[in-house]
Copies of this chain bind each other. A is one copy, B any other.
Amino acid sequence: MTEETQSINSDMPQPADLVIQARWVIPVRPRGQALEDAAVVINGGRIIDVLPVAQLAARYQVTQTVILNDHVLVPGLINLHTHAGMTLMRGLADDLPLMQWLNEHIWPAEKKVISEGFVHDSTLLGCAEMLSGGVTCFNEMYFYPEAAAEAAIQAGLRANLGLIVLEFPTSYAHDAEDYLQKGLNSRDNWRGHALLSASLAPHAPYTISDETFGKVLTYADQLGIGIHTHVHETQDEISQSIAQHGVRPLQRLANLSLLGPNIVAAHCVHLQPEEMSLLAEYGCHVAHCPTSNLKLASGIASIAELLMKGVNVGIGTDGAASNNRLDMFSEMRMAALLAKGTSGDAAALPASQALEMATLSAAKALCMEEKIGSIEVGKMADLVAVRIADSEILPCFDPISHLVYVAEREQVSHVWVAGELRYQKLAGQTGVYADIEPAELKEIIEEWQPKLNQYKA
């Protein structure tokens, strides 16, 4: 332990609901620190102390203690860009060019199959997958946000739900105004739930008119909420914007006053240096989705450069139809590896930074930096334990590096959200969710897969 450890001093032992003792605690802030044999003390869902195990007994009267001798304890991972509502379309059509994938498979399936029930079930399946992979919060964008809210509440996952806006009709809404009103009404129904928050989610510059962006901006300002959109995912959408609007999409967003510290721009694969500066200047946040960008052949985002310019970058899985896993362990590793391989610098995007992107940077992007993203006193106890004990992943010389380059989500053993245990997988056992039954997930798959089969590749 170092002197930077924060603790509350008191002469009398204080009460605490829960103490988690771990071989290593990685607080994320300060970056690169791994506290050995440390304990995280939790009361009322919040972290009230981080201290050496040896000092615990004198200071706290503890209701429950979880001892994790072979584990790394990290802040819950935050999936900064996903469409959990698409989880049932996992692998529906792979290895196809983007437009064929969309036109012949994804859009027809969405047109015929999507409903409130589908989105609920698909999101619940996605939540289960994410929980088992150490995700405690996700930034969602899909139709029927109310159905997604219900699934997130059942799973016990923190969610920032995108109130999706498009210009064209779907089963969910008929025009931009209808999308906006449905989204805002939906938000009214779950607003105030401790685990839920909302962003306005205009789908992308190529699907949203200037007028609608204007409305989005007004609502975002009035309600004090964020904006979540796709930006510069493909070269095509940039060419199209130049043809249609005379400027590249990011410049168009700047002209429309959309850029600011409350916007999360997903993808940002194709950026010119001055566009990186623009993002930095306005304090915009980027959701890097490396696997999806490769799989759909969109390209490789220049993340090392973006970070050097001072842009805040989190990591997202994108949806299961284009990844095909909602797995933040894979994404952290992919982000770190691609940054090295494309920059020619093996020291680029080190493990500690990849972990920070998947936690604290994403919390910043969601304007939740005060609440989640690191193991610090005062923050919510969104925590993940990762078991480093199987011979297949040993030896372990550096727990942070191990977490990114060696461990996988199968090593996740415990997931707490606001101090509540939401998922647990003990050594050699099957994982168990607090509030999701395996039979429920099985039924979901059995119900929907036959309806989707006709759209598969």
Contact = CB atoms under 8 A, between A and B. Distances in A.
Nearest to A94: B401
B397 A452 contact: yes
B346 A90 contact: no
A371 interface: no
Contacts of A338: 294
Contacts of A427: 430
Given A337-B295, A401-B91, A96 B346 contact: yes
Interface string A216-260: 000000000000000000000000000000000000000000000
Interface residues of A, number: 70
Contacts of A398: 91, 94, 456-457
A453 interface: yes
Contacts of A272: none
A88 interface: yes
26 contacts: A90-B395, A90-B396, A91-B396, A91-B406, A94-B350, A94-B398, A95-B336, A95-B351, A129-B392, A132-B392, A294-B337, A294-B340, A297-B340, A297-B344, A323-B405, A324-B401, A324-B402, A324-B406, A325-B393, A391-B438, A397-B457, A398-B456, A398-B457, A408-B408, A428-B428, A428-B430
A20 B340 CA distance: 43
A347 B96 contact: yes
Nearest to A291: B337
Given A351-B95, A429-B428, A445 B391 contact: yes
A236 to B, nearest CB: 11
A347 B104 CA distance: 15
A91 B341 contact: no
Contacts of A368: none
A7 interface: no
Interface in A91-123: 91-98, 101
Contacts of A324: 401-402, 405-406
Contacts of A295: 337, 340-341, 346, 405
A341 B298 contact: yes
A405 B91 contact: yes
A448 interface: yes
Contacts of A132: 392
Contacts of A410: 408, 410
A62 interface: no
Interface string A280-309: 000000000001011111111000000000
Contact of A392 (B101, B133, B351): B133
A405 B325 CA distance: 8
A101 B401 CA distance: 15
